[in-house]
A and B are shown apart, each in its own frame.
Chain A
Amino acid sequence: SAVISQKPSRDICQRGTSLTIQCQVDSQVTMMFWYRQQPGQSLTLIATANQGSEATYESGFVIDKFPISRPNLTFSTLTVSNMSPEDSSIYLCSVAGGEGTDTQYFGPGTRLTVL
């Protein structure tokens, strides 16, 4: 199984600012995923990030608002840009469980509050 860490674990930010969330994996993985979990809600996929290519965004999410970097096979960042209180959520990264498995391993999440 993969061990995933995220930084920061939580943050409180002001409206109009941006926050970059880091996701580090202890092994090389092809696919990484970024999810948003709004308060009391389920997880919604923001985008899939493959190393060496542009991230693929889901409907309702755009690159200008949620730019993603994937510089290598163990690291990715998600930036939440020009934040508003509606962006207050838990942001989670995950990785595919490996060849032959369809499961995903999740990071501990970043709890973001926007004032």
Chain B
Amino acid sequence: SQQGEEDPQALSIQEGENATMNCSYKTSINNLQWYRQNSGRGLVHLILIRSNEREKHSGRLRVTLDTSKKSSSLLITASRAADTASYFCATLANTGFQKLVFGTGTRLLVSP
């Protein structure tokens, strides 16, 4: 399977704590993206990091990328109950086709 792996599969934390999710993938990529899905609904794009970038920030989100290890991490700082969702990484290969390959996802539960 080309699908990436994410860990942990599920993460439960308290509001105010940080949440870290990891993603590993298998092929060379053009970029890696993170998406959020609330309660089995549509996905919302969070952040994109290109293969020549190592770290990127957006608000409370911090993404790192290690192409030598084919891995990425998403850090959500000072989490809120509203961050409760499933988080997916998705990779775009260097094929010229805009085909995203999604990871297995991490279910995050933030308790008040």
Contact = CB atoms under 8 A, between A and B. Distances in A.
Main SS at interface, chain A: strand
Tell me the dominant secondary structure on chain B's binding face. Answer: strand
A92 B92 contact: no
Interface residues of B, number: 23
User: Chain A, interface size: which category?
Assistant: 20 to 34
Given A42-B3, A42-B88, A106 B42 contact: yes
A76 B18 CA distance: 40
A103 B99 contact: no
Contacts of A45: 99-101
Interface in A34-68: 37, 41-45, 48
Interface stretch (A12-20, A80-88, A107-115): A107-115
6 contacts: A42-B103, A44-B3, A90-B40, A102-B92, A102-B98, A104-B98
